[in-house]
Every structure is written in structure tokens, then in C-alpha cells.
A and B are shown apart, each in its own frame.
Chain A
Amino acid sequence: MKKKYFSKENFFRVVLTFLKYALLCLTSFIAIAPLYAVAVTAFKTPQEYQTTNVMTLPGAFYLGNFKQAWQKAHMGLAFFNSIIVLVTVLVGFTLLSSMLAYVLSRFKFLGNGLIRNLFLLAALIPGVAMQVTVYNIMYQLNLINTLVGYIILMLGTDVVSVYIFIQYFYNLPISLDESAILDGCTYFGVFFKILLPLLRPAIITCMILKGVSTYNEYYMANLYLQDKQALQVVSTSLYTFTGPLGSQYNLICAGVIIVTLPAVIAFVLFQKQIYSGLTAGAVKG
């Protein structure tokens, strides 16, 4: 049978395919356009910034804005502080939530279900609303304007990660624990020597999710790290560009690019884990 190329069905298929790609390109354009304009402006000399349209490409890659933004916002210090926060939060957070998940998934004891529900309920309460009184408590504990206080707040176990760990624990056979116990291992040993290394995929997933949210967090950083000179982290360092510098968009754009670059790198490196982490977090319902 001879194939008909101009049948009605074929015509519709071509139109639909065209529409599909057109819509995808349009949405991608909308997603990229704001970032593109920022990137382009960051590379312009002050003169070009004054005279050319925001969307036109610069004549050459001018790096002066980055240098100036880096110095004005004390970004070296900000990155140093952010790295301290990130490392301590990630290590502490992983340990705390995996330990919590271990106990909740492996042991039956009175209050197991209650504790799970307490953590679930806590997730319902919007964080911003709590800060009204958490601020008061932090004040009484003398933890305002200290990195330690901020780190402690960020360490708070969030339900999503605990549930990712719990699900993962259910997939590890309990006979693993039992045989280790029979071989004379303590429960601590079972957790640290046997289960924790096996949890690696879940740990990577949770670390990436927590890492992204910690790096991007700015509301609490702004509230609890008020000494903007010594204690700023990456997200709050951008606040330098409000006020008198608020209209120098070539500097601001350079700052935004510097702050966003680690996210780009993380995305390129861990794309798969980020997607699967998000999906795993949603399944808990």
C-alpha cells in the first residue's frame, strides 16, 4: 500500500508537533530570559550599561563588575561563612535525621507513632509564622548574631528527609541487623558500621536537597545574623546592593551571577539526584 503523505492525520500530526516544540521553546525562553538579561548586564562596562539596551550583548567580556561586586559585598567572607554553615549543617543534619529514621523504622516502642505525627504536624506550620516567637527564644538563649545559633536553627530535621530515610530503611532487610547483632555488634555498631554506609544514595539525595535549601536560605539569615559585616552568608551578602547601590544594576547583576554560579555547578553535577530527591520527597504524601 502506498503511504499517503498529505492525509488529514499527517497534517494534524505535523501541526501538533510544531505546536509542541513552539510551546516548549517559548516556555524555555521565559525561563531563561530574566537570567540571560542579568548575565549580559553583568559583563557590560559601566559605559555600555548606561548607553545600550539591557538585552544587547556586550562588546567584550568585561570582568570589572564581578571584581567590584565581590569587594563591595565582601563575598569572600560570605562564601567562607556559607561554607562553614553548609558543612556543619549537612553533617549534623544527615546524622540527626538518619538516626531518627533508624529508631523510628527499626524499633517498636510506645510513642513511635506519636513522634512521627509530631514531626508531620510540625511540617504544617509555616516557618515564617514561627519566627515571631523563635526570635524571642533565640534572644533569651543569647544565640542571635552568632553563626552557631543560625546553624542550630538550620539543623532542624525536616520531615521530608526523615521520610526518605525511613523508606530507605524499610528497603534494607532487617536480617542484616540481626546477623550483625548475633556476631556481637552493638546497636550503635549496626547503625554506624553497617546501615549508614548502605544509606549512601539516600544520604546524597537528602544532602543535596538540604544543601540547596541551606545555601538559598535568607529569611532567617537576615533575621538572626544581623551583623552584616562579620556574619553575612552568601544569600544575605546580596543585601549590600539595596539602598544607595540599589540602582547600579551592572554590579547587582554581577553579584547575582556570582551567587547563582554554585547552583549552576551543583545542577550540572547532580541533576539526577536533584530530580530523584524531589520526587522521593513528594511520595511521602
Chain B
Amino acid sequence: MLYIRKNSFAPFSAFHRWIAKMRNQQKIVVIVFLAIPLLMLFLFTYYPFAKMVQFSFYDMQYLGPRTFVGAQNYIDVFSRNDILSSLKLIFYYLAASLVQMALALFFATILSFKTRGKNFFKGIIFFPYLVCGIAVGFIFKFFFTHGYVFDTILSWVGFHINSLPYWLKDTSVNNICLAGTSVWRYLGQNMVLIIGAIMSVDTNLYEAAEIDGANAWNKFLHVILPSIKTIIVLSLILSVSGSISAFEPPYVITSGTFGTATYFVLMDQIAHTAQKVGLASAMAVVLMGIIILVTVAQQTVSKIFLEEGKDGMTFMERRIHNRRRGSDPSGKGEGLPI
């Protein structure tokens, strides 16, 4: 050990000798490598977060005087009509993400098996994910303009242009259209994720199922679905927080006009156009609270349904199993079926 140290570090000074001690060197590496990421994490995430909580109790602009208003901003969040009506839009995006999930699951399953040109289809369905968000905005402004792309396509299948609504202005359809663009953009990404999960399924399982005489539907139900349930539950719950924080489609396509302002679009306007920083901060804090709640719920749910214990059963499966055997909570005794 001594020999190595002498050779490799040529101890010129006390500092070099200090460096040469491996323990100290480890400390230096840890400190140097962590310094910048941690500094940035605190400066751009945790410090602003603390500031945001602080701002949410003030009536203030970016510049100028601040007055402490207590919980007034929070009361406003739950009583202002525009904010409350923006919360209703969550359901459009939630529905869209459920549709997206179902479609992604469907196409991922199809494309994981023998299909001609599957890379071609996969590529085409995936590509919209790579289009720049602001370009997506222009593409769909163009797409939905009266008498343009969408109306032309509909006229091919027999609709008359005059009978069609203004897709982005008519409040009965515009939110559906906007949520639809988000399906357009993210379906492929979701699908690629699920394909990845299906690919990681042991191929022996398929063969075993085939020997047992399983058809395609059985294979899907009993081999694929259990193997990818983690990612499905995860995406479902992510889609909840995603719907709550829906932002891009209305921001780039309609700028939140005609009743399309989601919670975040409204928050952005309140913060940067109206400069009501306090109220915007309160909105952000409320939303983060909701998202953290959803995530905690996710952790609990996945613990109950997905995490397997020592016996290879999830909490839920064990419950069902025990109940069938006559409610023995320990699962050890031979309970009698009633």
C-alpha cells in the first residue's frame, strides 16, 4: 500500500500527501461532483418552492411593494369562477388520457407480434412525439381552421362543411379537440413504452401458453397483462397528475381563449400577464399539493396491488387467497372453508 502511494502521487507537499489518502480523495470527489447539481437543485427547485409558499401569502407583483394578506389568495383560488371552471377541464384531459392508454395498449400488443411493416407503423404513430410543441400548436391551428384540413377530411366521408362547427371556438367541442391533440402527440410515446415492457416478457411464457392451447386473447390476458401491469398502473396514475397539470395544447393552440384555459394556462396568465404573483403562487402550491397526494396514493396502490411479498403474492392476492381459505389472517393455519 505504501509503495503504491509513493509511486503514484509523488508527495510534493502536505496537500498532495493529504490528497493521496484515499479516504480524503473520496470525500473530495463526492463534494466536487455533487456541488454543482446540488447547488442547481436548490437554487432552481427548492429555493423557488420555499419562495413560492412565502409569496402565496402576499398580494404582490414582481416589482414593487408587497402586502401580507394571509390566506386570502388560497380563498381566492377556491372561490374565483375562472379558476373553478378551469378545474372542470381536467375531466376532458383525463378522458383523453384513458383513451390514449387504451389505444396505446392495443397498438403495442398488435405491434409486438407478427405484423407486416410493424416498424413502419410504429415509426409513424410515434413521430408526432418529436414535433416541437409550438409547431404542434401551429399545425393544429391550421388543422382545425374552418374549411381547412379537418373539415376537408370530414367532407370526404360525407359531412357538409357548413354543418360543421368552428372546432376551436365552439365551446361544446373545442376542449375535446384540444385534448385530442394531446392524444395525437403522446399516443406513440406511450405505445413505445408498453412495447418495451412487452418485449421484456420472457418468451418461454408465450411458448408455454401456446402448448397449453392459449389463443391470442388468452395470451394477452394471462401472459402480457400481468407482466406489464406495473407500467400500466404507473401510466394511469401519471395520467391523472398529467391531466390536472394539462398545459401545452391550450397554451399553444388557443392561448386559453373560448373557455379552454386549463388551470396552468390560467396560472401562467395570472402570473405573467396580470402579474398577480401571490395568487399564482397560491395556485401553484395548491396544485403541487394535489399532485403530491396523487403520488402518495400511487405508492400505496402499487404497494397493495403490485409489490410481491416473500410468498410471491401481492397484498391483494394474499387477501383473496386467505379469504378463500377461510379468513386466516396469518395465512399459515389450515382454515376450514365455510
How large, as a class, is the contact surface on chain B?
35 or more
Asked if A6 lies at the interface with its beta carbon under 8 angstroms from chain B, I say no
Interface mask (B102-127 → A, CB under 8 Å = 1, otherwise 0): 01001100100001100001011111
Asked if residues A218 and B196 are in contact (CB atoms below 8 Å), the reply is: no
Interface residues of A in 170-202 (CB under 8 A from B): 181-182, 184-188, 191
Asked if residues B33 and A100 are in contact (CB atoms below 8 Å), the reply is: yes
Residues of A near B149 (CB, < 8 A) are 33-34, 37, 54-55
- Choose, from B46-54, B87-95, B330-338, the stretch at the interface: B46-54
Find the A residue at minimum CB distance from B189. Answer: A278
Asked if residues B49 and A130 are in contact (CB atoms below 8 Å), the reply is: yes
Report the minimum CB–CB distance from B288 to chain A (whole Å): 6
Interface mask (B29-70 → A, CB under 8 Å = 1, otherwise 0): 110011011101101111111011001000000100000000
- Choose, from A57-65, A83-91, A116-124, the stretch at the interface: A116-124
Report the minimum CB–CB distance from A223 to chain B (whole Å): 7
Known pairs A129-B267, A133-B49, A275-B192 / 20 extra A-B pairs, C-beta < 8 Å? A28-B121, A31-B184, A32-B124, A35-B127, A37-B149, A55-B149, A107-B26, A122-B45, A125-B288, A126-B264, A126-B288, A128-B247, A130-B48, A133-B52, A186-B19, A216-B130, A260-B135, A263-B130, A264-B127, A278-B192
Asked if residues B4 and A182 are in contact (CB atoms below 8 Å), the reply is: yes
Asked if A136 lies at the interface with its beta carbon under 8 angstroms from chain B, I say yes
Residues of A near B45 (CB, < 8 A) are 122, 125, 130, 156
Report the minimum CB–CB distance from B112 to chain A (whole Å): 13
Known contacts A38-B142, A126-B264, A132-B271; A103/B148 CB under 8 A:
no
Asked if residues A128 and B125 are in contact (CB atoms below 8 Å), the reply is: no
Interface mask (A65-109 → B, CB under 8 Å = 1, otherwise 0): 000000000000000000000000000000011011011000101
Report the minimum CB–CB distance from B148 to chain A (whole Å): 5
Docked pose: A6 CA to B153 CA in angstroms: 37
Known contacts A38-B142, A137-B47, A216-B133; A132/B288 CB under 8 A:
no
Interface mask (A201-217 → B, CB under 8 Å = 1, otherwise 0): 00000000000100111
Asked if residues A132 and B37 are in contact (CB atoms below 8 Å), the reply is: no
Asked if B8 lies at the interface with its beta carbon under 8 angstroms from chain A, I say yes
Asked if residues B62 and A235 are in contact (CB atoms below 8 Å), the reply is: no
Asked if A168 lies at the interface with its beta carbon under 8 angstroms from chain B, I say no
Report the minimum CB–CB distance from B200 to chain A (whole Å): 9
Interface residues of A in 126-147 (CB under 8 A from B): 126, 128-137, 139
Residues of B near A263 (CB, < 8 A) are 130-132
Docked pose: A253 CA to B139 CA in angstroms: 8
Asked if A230 lies at the interface with its beta carbon under 8 angstroms from chain B, I say no
Asked if residues B124 and A238 are in contact (CB atoms below 8 Å), the reply is: no
Residues of B near A219 (CB, < 8 A) are 133, 251
At the interface, is chain A mostly helix, strand, loop or mixed?
Answer: helix
User: Which of B55, B62, B124, B143 is the most central at the interface, judged by chain A CB atoms within 10 Å of its CB?
Assistant: B124
Interface residues of B in 130-157 (CB under 8 A from A): 130-135, 138-140, 142-143, 145, 148-149, 152-153
Residues of A near B106 (CB, < 8 A) are 23
Docked pose: A187 CA to B41 CA in angstroms: 24
- Choose, from B202-210, B276-284, B310-318, the stretch at the interface: B276-284
Asked if residues A41 and B51 are in contact (CB atoms below 8 Å), the reply is: no
Known contacts A130-B49, A249-B142; A184/B132 CB under 8 A:
no
Residues of B near A235 (CB, < 8 A) are 132-135
Known contacts A24-B110, A115-B38, A187-B26; A285/B103 CB under 8 A:
no
Known contacts A157-B37, A278-B192; A188/B29 CB under 8 A:
yes
